[in-house]
Amino acid sequence: MYRGELSLTLWALIFINTSETCILRTHITAVEGEPFYLKYCLSSPVHKNETTTIRWYRSNRSQERVELKQGSSPRITLWDYVLEFWPVELDDRGSYFFQMGNYTQQWILNITRRNKHSCFTEKQVTSKIVEVKKVLQITCENSYYQKLINSTSLYKNCKKLPENDKNPSIRKNAEFEDQGFYSCVFSLHRSGKLFTITKTFNITIVEDHSNIVPVLLGPKLNHVEVELGKDVQLNCCALLNKNDVVYWIFEKENGPDPNVHEEEEKKAVTSEGKLHSSRILRIENINENNLNFLYNCTVAGEGGTDTKSFILVKKADMADIPGHIFTRGMIIAILILVAVVCFVIVGVIYRVDLVLFYRHLMGKDETLTDGKTYDAFVSYLKECRPENGEEYTFAVETLPRVLEKHFGYQLCIFERDVMPGGAVVDEIHSLIQKSRRLIIVLSKSYMSSEVRYELESGLHEALVERKIKIILIEFTPVGDFTFLPQSLTLLKSHRVLKWKADKSLSYNSRFWKNLLYLMPAKTVKPGGDESEMLPVLPEP
Ligand SMILES: *[C@@H]1O[C@H](CO)[C@@H](O)[C@H](O)[C@H]1NC(C)=O
Ligand SMILES: *[C@@H]1O[C@H](CO)[C@@H](O)[C@H](O)[C@H]1NC(C)=O
Ligand SMILES: *[C@@H]1O[C@H](CO)[C@@H](O)[C@H](O)[C@H]1NC(C)=O
Ligand SMILES: *[C@@H]1O[C@H](CO)[C@@H](O)[C@H](O)[C@H]1NC(C)=O
Ligand SMILES: *[C@@H]1O[C@H](CO)[C@@H](O)[C@H](O)[C@H]1NC(C)=O
Ligand SMILES: *[C@@H]1O[C@H](CO)[C@@H](O)[C@H](O)[C@H]1NC(C)=O
Ligand SMILES: *[C@@H]1O[C@H](CO)[C@@H](O)[C@H](O)[C@H]1NC(C)=O
């Protein structure tokens, strides 16, 4: 019982030990000149007792099975489940058999020649593909010979890498420059002889494998202008994965077109690491059959497909507008638009001048047929007190001098034109009715009882009967109009003119122009002989 347990433990140890480094593959390749071993794998615990014998055999091409014995070759060592070569040579090619009781295991051993010109043998490399930015790990380990290994070196493309630990290794994030052959060279001594074992990794760095959905670049439908008899190249560009393909569909029902040729696909990796592909379809000697047919280009891959179409159209005749003329037309249209906008703005700003110019040009006269006598009735503060002397002078002297003498209007100034006596109120009423405009020279002290009637009568005519238009002249700045009848504030703002003594002197000034604009149109009979530029008021 006790012994049984012990032997079970022993079994377990052997099992683990052998399964770690045993060789299960039946076809094995070794490199000449390197230490090599074959080790039996205990696939199931074999009931072994002391008497069970272990035998090793080899057979070569002649199929004779020869038993291998310790000492049958100086290079061969046998013990238990292991056959060792110190080192293996080309002659050792052949089949090897391990026999224990009636259990056997067979290996077929091939030996490759050592590459004398390189530090490793290309046929004996382990290829690994690593995605860029993923972990690249290379560890130099040889568990079977571990105890014998004296030193280990790591080479990249046969150049020794600086680090030289007992177990050199690499662990980093892969970059494209990391691609290459990495060789671990283990040195070991045995019976005073130096042996080396080389294990080489072929590391290839590839793109991120995450697939994109392939797409064709550019619009889905392309009209290509062509001339009959000429050639054209249609280019189809795609953004795709490594294994995706780009192809053209250009065959018609009535067989292939000998003029149409599909070129090879050209792939290129952009600086951002994206894969581009382009494929050209060449159409030679274009004829009518090539027109109005959809030449389709497709990219297909695991991620999906995408198709775009090209259609050839005959180049338009001269009747069509060539590009540069179109551009020129657009520029002209924009210039015209800008001009119109400017014109409108200028028109709004210089409305008054334009209207006056138009009246002058057309010789327009509104005063001929309405049967009124006066062009304007001037209402002003009549008492000539010192504080409103200027206003009085303006109404009685300046206005008539400019409007009557210079511009040929007929004003009605009560003090001047009405004979004293009679019913003043009735008189004023009839005078206002005979006038086309009511000019009110406005100031703070305007609202005296005498003028109030003129104002009310005029307002009645203006607002109720619409027979007269009112022009307000703000002679001195009037802060608030609250003292005026409510109805007067209904006047449009442009009917209120502000007199600015310093700026309104010239006949050409805005004040007089605005006043003329509000006055009825009348053909000007050249009045005085005063020049246009002479001041209206005596210079102060
Ligand atoms: C163990 O060995 C004895 C004699 O050497 C043999 O008779 C017996 O069959 C063996 N046991 C097994 C299980 O092979
Ligand atoms: C086969 O093996 C035997 C014994 O190892 C050897 O003598 C013989 O030359 C080998 N034949 C060939 C063709 O390798
Ligand atoms: C293997 O040998 C054992 C005895 O040693 C025997 O009982 C068994 O039948 C044999 N198996 C085969 C497949 O020959
Ligand atoms: C042995 O390896 C060489 C080169 O690796 C190969 O050409 C040959 O076919 C292999 N022989 C066998 C029997 O596998
Ligand atoms: C390694 O090799 C050197 C000389 O080549 C030797 O002196 C040393 O004992 C060796 N070490 C081991 C662990 O075999
Ligand atoms: C190295 O690996 C790449 C990618 O798998 C492969 O194309 C190349 O043939 C390999 N080189 C050798 C020498 O095995
Ligand atoms: C080309 O594509 C269009 C739209 O995808 C399709 O209607 C047409 O049949 C296709 N033509 C050919 C020749 O495959």
**What is the 3 state secondary structure string of 197-220?**
EEEEEEEEEECCCCCCCCEECCCC
CA 107 / ligand 2 centre spacing (Å): 17
User: Does the C-beta of 448 come closer than 6 Å to ligand 4?
Assistant: no
Nearest CA to ligand 6 atom 11: 202
Tell me, yes or no, whether 491 and 452 share the same domain.
Answer: yes
Tell me, yes or no, whether 69 and 128 share the same domain.
Answer: no
Rounded to whole angstroms, what are the CA distances from 204 to 1, 5, 136, 216, 461?
57, 51, 10, 29, 103
pLDDT at 392: 79
Tell me, yes or no, whether 51 and 193 share the same domain.
Answer: no
485-490: which pairs have CB atoms within 8 A and are 24 or more residues apart?
A: 485/455, 485/456, 485/459, 487/459, 487/463, 488/455, 488/459, 490/463
Rounded to whole angstroms, what are the CA distances from 316 to 228, 284, 296, 506?
12, 20, 23, 65
User: Does the C-beta of 146 come closer than 6 Å to ligand 5?
Assistant: no
DSSP state of 263: P
Helix (H, G, I), strand (E, B) or coil at 346: helix
CA 49 / ligand 6 centre spacing (Å): 48
User: Does the C-beta of 61 come closer than 6 Å to ligand 2?
Assistant: yes
Flag whether 537 is in a domain. Answer: no
Nearest CA to ligand 5 atom 6: 150
pLDDT under 50 in the chain at which residues? 1-18, 527-534, 538-540
Flag whether 354 is in a domain. Answer: no
Tell me, yes or no, whether 259 and 378 share the same domain.
Answer: no
Tell me, yes or no, whether 222 and 306 share the same domain.
Answer: yes
d(CA 18, CA 12) in angstroms, rounded, equals: 10
Closest Cα to residue 265, out of 240, 284, 285, 287? 240
Q: What are the φ/ψ torsions at residue 298 (nearest 5 degrees)?
A: -130, 140
Flag whether 244 is in a domain. Answer: yes
Contact 54, 70 (CB under 8 A): no
Average pLDDT across the chain, whole number? 81
User: Does the C-beta of 66 come closer than 6 Å to ligand 2?
Assistant: yes
Tell me, yes or no, whether 391 and 503 share the same domain.
Answer: yes
Tell me, yes or no, whether 433 and 511 share the same domain.
Answer: yes
CA 46 / ligand 3 centre spacing (Å): 11
Q: Choose which residue among 60, 64, 68, 85 to substitute to test ligand 2 binding: the one with the highest number of ligand atoms within 8 A of its C-beta.
A: 60
User: Does the C-beta of 26 come closer than 6 Å to ligand 4?
Assistant: no
User: Does the C-beta of 222 come closer than 6 Å to ligand 7?
Assistant: no
The domain tally of the chain equals 5
Tell me, yes or no, whether 64 and 92 share the same domain.
Answer: yes
Flag whether 530 is in a domain. Answer: no
User: Does the C-beta of 209 come closer than 6 Å to ligand 4?
Assistant: no
Flag whether 359 is in a domain. Answer: no
Look up the domain containing 137 and give its range: 122-206
User: Does the C-beta of 193 come closer than 6 Å to ligand 5?
Assistant: no
CA 62 / ligand 4 centre spacing (Å): 17
Closest Cα to residue 282, out of 297, 298, 260, 266? 260
Contact 77, 84 (CB under 8 A): yes
> Any residues with CB less than 8 A from the CB of 378 and at least 6 apart, and which?
395, 399, 411, 412, 413, 414, 439, 441
Flag whether 355 is in a domain. Answer: no
Nearest CA to ligand 1 atom 7: 51
Tell me, yes or no, whether 461 and 328 share the same domain.
Answer: no
Closest Cα to residue 217, out of 304, 280, 299, 294? 299
Nearest CA to ligand 3 atom 7: 102
Nearest CA to ligand 7 atom 9: 294
Adjacency order of strands within the sheet including 94-100: 27-31, 103-112, 94-100, 54-59, 65-68
pLDDT at 393: 82
Q: Residue 477: how many CB atoms within 10 A of its CB?
A: 10
d(CA 60, CA 108) in angstroms, rounded, equals: 10
User: Does the C-beta of 221 come closer than 6 Å to ligand 7?
Assistant: no
Q: What are the φ/ψ torsions at residue 487 (nearest 5 degrees)?
A: -60, -25
CA 99 / ligand 3 centre spacing (Å): 13
DSSP state of 385: -
> pLDDT tens, 272-290?
778 899 999 999 999 888 8
Nearest CA to ligand 3 atom 2: 102
Q: Residue 351: how many CB atoms within 10 A of its CB?
A: 13
Strand-pair partners of 181:
202
Closest Cα to residue 145, out of 164, 117, 174, 167? 167
Return the CATH number at 53.
Answer: 2.60.40.10
Nearest CA to ligand 2 atom 6: 60
Flag whether 358 is in a domain. Answer: no
Give strand ranges (E) for 227-346: 232-240, 245-249, 260-262, 266-269, 275-283, 294-301, 304-314
Final residue of a structural domain among 91, 112, 133: 112
> pLDDT tens, 485-510?
666 666 666 677 888 877 777 777 88
3-state helix, strand, coil in the chain (%, to 5): 25, 35, 40
What is the maximum alpha-carbon separation in the chain?
169
Q: Relative to the CA of 47, which ligand 1 atom is closest?
A: 13
CA 103 / ligand 3 centre spacing (Å): 9
User: Does the C-beta of 294 come closer than 6 Å to ligand 7?
Assistant: yes
d(CA 509, CA 499) in angstroms, rounded, equals: 11
CA 164 / ligand 5 centre spacing (Å): 15
User: Does the C-beta of 334 come closer than 6 Å to ligand 7?
Assistant: no
Q: What six digits make up the tokens of 371? A: 């049967």
CA 102 / ligand 3 centre spacing (Å): 6
Final residue of a structural domain among 206, 232, 258: 206
Contact 364, 524 (CB under 8 A): no
Q: Relative to the CA of 93, which ligand 2 atom is closest?
A: 14
Flag whether 107 is in a domain. Answer: yes
d(CA 131, CA 106) in angstroms, rounded, equals: 38
The ligand whose atoms approach the alpha carbon of 194 most closely is: 5
Closest Cα to residue 473, out of 515, 503, 433? 515
**Residues known to be catalytic:** 454
CA 202 / ligand 6 centre spacing (Å): 6
Tell me, yes or no, whether 458 and 407 share the same domain.
Answer: yes
Q: Choose which residue among 117, 126, 127 to substitute to test ligand 6 binding: the one with the highest number of ligand atoms within 8 A of its C-beta.
A: 127
Residues lining ligand 1, judged by CB closer than 6 Å? 47, 49, 51
Tell me, yes or no, whether 372 and 341 share the same domain.
Answer: no
Final residue of a structural domain among 44, 77, 112: 112
Contact 244, 238 (CB under 8 A): yes
Tell me, yes or no, whether 197 and 219 share the same domain.
Answer: no
Nearest CA to ligand 3 atom 12: 102
User: Does the C-beta of 102 come closer than 6 Å to ligand 3?
Assistant: yes
Strand-pair partners of 182:
156, 201
